[in-house]
Chains A and B, each alone.
Chain A
Amino acid sequence: MIRIGNGQGFWGDWLEAPVRLVEQGPLDYLILDYLAEVTMSVLQKQKQADPTRGYASDFPPLMARLAPKLKANKIKVVANAGGVNPRGCAEAVRKLAPELKIAVVTGDDLYDGIDDLMARGHEMRDMDTGAPLATVRDRIQSANAYIGAFPLAEALATGADVVIAGRSTDTALALAPMVHEFGWGPADYSLLASGTIAGHIVECGAQCTGGNSQCDWQTIPDMANIGYPIIEAEADGTFVITKHEGTGGRVTVDTVKEQLLYELGDPKRYLTPDCTADFTSIQLASDGENRVRVHGIVGSERPPTLKLSISFSDGWKSIGTLVYSAPDALAKARAADLIVRARLANLGLHFEEIRTEYFGVNACNGPVAPPSANPPEVQLRIGVRDADRKAVDRFTRELIPLVLNGPPGATGFGDGRPAVREIVAYWSALLPREEVTTSVEVFE
């Protein structure tokens, strides 16, 4: 049995979580998931400004903080902290924690090869719209293939203490130690599906140990010290989801079910670079306090294609807010919205979208929100989106004047004009897997 703990559900997750996983109980592998679709484009921009950047900058100092304990307890780390610059990330770790042996997995970054792929007939059509990638070619900011567990397992086989990848799938981080330790092969579909589903359960950190849970959330103990998830994986593909003794939170069949359903598509065809997992085969059973046993998982062959994660610049947006107080808070906010729209129209400005939400009334659930008779305060929230940055910029000047020249009782404008932000949109496409070649490099 090996213990795999996930200490990071996204870049920005609780900094103490990985430290506590290493310090508060037994662990064999620490995995850290840093990447979301949006993260890749942010990192690509950082790298363009400074070629030594472009990775999760929290990671090297974390490795320095953990290095003595990792060495002493022989805990290995697998992380997709490399972003668009896994080698740069490795260099930074080497500087701060020279005692750690590092293996880097590369080959997922296709940014420099896009034109070549297109020239050879790969259209890389968007999976939602069907449009070919050529339509946004000049606006592409990053392009990566999701890679699976096998390249990461190959990196572990070098005896590295730390494996740094770029755009590996979240689930591959958990599956790779199992492939490495148990010797699973590419045709062990059901074993690979088991490890993949284990990875899915833990990939959002504490979301399976009581975080963001509707399971009697008021009674979940000690959330201030919530334990992050640990997979106790067996060579036969069965596993237990648990957390360290003495930590807060709760692991039950119900908290695990909630996370199994999170960001799920067709449950019978959960596609990864490693296998196709069938979520309708999963069997869960309580295995004592804060322990859930998972078994019965069936998988099938991996798809012939890899999914691409491509980001491209898609215009500008700005969202501004003003708060209206009682009496008639909502009526004032509605009147202010009409005034802003009229003034924008008078200026001859048109936007691809103007959206108004009334925070405290309907911002989260729109038409489904239960009617709210007379809220004592309402935040007017207006957003605009357009390809023309000047128009969006002009909009940002139309909110604060309302404090003096609109309905009475407006406040909450202390931060000044809202910012204009570039929209970096996400393009997903498929590419035959032969087009992506990964390699492993060791830094000692």
Chain B
Amino acid sequence: MKLSQIAHTRSGDKGDTANIGVIAWREEDYAILKRELTAQRVKAYFGALVQGEVERFELPNLGALNFLLHRSLGGGGTVTLRLDAQGKTYGAALLNMEIDA
């Protein structure tokens, strides 16, 4: 299934690092997020878009994971030549990822 079936996201920037918050719609699906959305798989999914490492943080109280995508914004802020300078669309892009239920 697609990640969009069990989660919603919001993404933003800090310099050249984008963050994606992934939130389970239902509390019980947080375990699936934790199992399926490893930092390695998120990095592999975005491919060349992420030049640096991907870090993952857990927020079990919110049923959410937070990912930091380092060096993913073409220099970030005002330096970047990207249309999506702040990674605003990365969260929605992640929702297309195929995961196991």
Q: Please report A residues at the B interface, Cβ cutoff 8 Å.
A: 37-38, 128, 212, 214-215, 254, 257-268, 279-284, 314, 317, 319, 353, 355, 357, 359, 363-370, 381, 383-385, 423-426, 428
Contacts and interface: CB of A to CB of B under 8 A. Distances in A.
Given A128-B16, A254-B23, A424 B47 contact: no
A313 B87 CA distance: 23
A364 B81 contact: no
Given A38-B77, A267-B66, A355-B82, A368 B47 contact: yes
Contacts of A367: 46-49
B89 A364 contact: yes
Contacts of B83: 357, 359, 363-364, 381
A161 B45 CA distance: 52
Interface string B33-51: 0000000000001111100
Given A261-B21, A262-B10, 17 more contacts: A38-B78, A214-B10, A214-B91, A215-B8, A260-B62, A261-B59, A261-B66, A262-B12, A264-B66, A265-B19, A314-B79, A319-B81, A364-B84, A368-B45, A368-B46, A425-B77, A426-B78
B81 A257 contact: no
A363 B87 CA distance: 11
Nearest to B97: A368
A368 B10 contact: no
Contact of B62 (A128, A257, A384, A423): A257
Nearest to B70: A128
Interface residues of B, number: 44
B90 A365 contact: yes
A355 B57 contact: no
Contacts of B91: 214
Nearest to B7: A214
Given A261-B10, A366-B48, A370-B96, A283 B61 contact: yes
The A contact surface, by secondary structure, is mixed
Contact of B77 (A37, A365, A385): A37
B77 A384 contact: no
A265 B49 CA distance: 19
Contact of B19 (A128, A264, A283, A319): A264
B77 A364 contact: no
Given A262-B21, A283-B61, A317 B10 contact: no
A382 to B, nearest CB: 9
B54 interface: no
Given A212-B10, A283-B61, A426-B78, A264 B15 contact: no
24 contacts: A254-B8, A254-B25, A257-B62, A257-B63, A258-B10, A258-B23, A261-B22, A262-B21, A263-B13, A263-B14, A264-B66, A266-B57, A267-B58, A267-B59, A283-B61, A317-B81, A353-B74, A355-B81, A357-B83, A365-B90, A385-B79, A385-B81, A424-B78, A425-B77
Given A254-B25, A258-B21, A359-B83, A263 B12 contact: yes
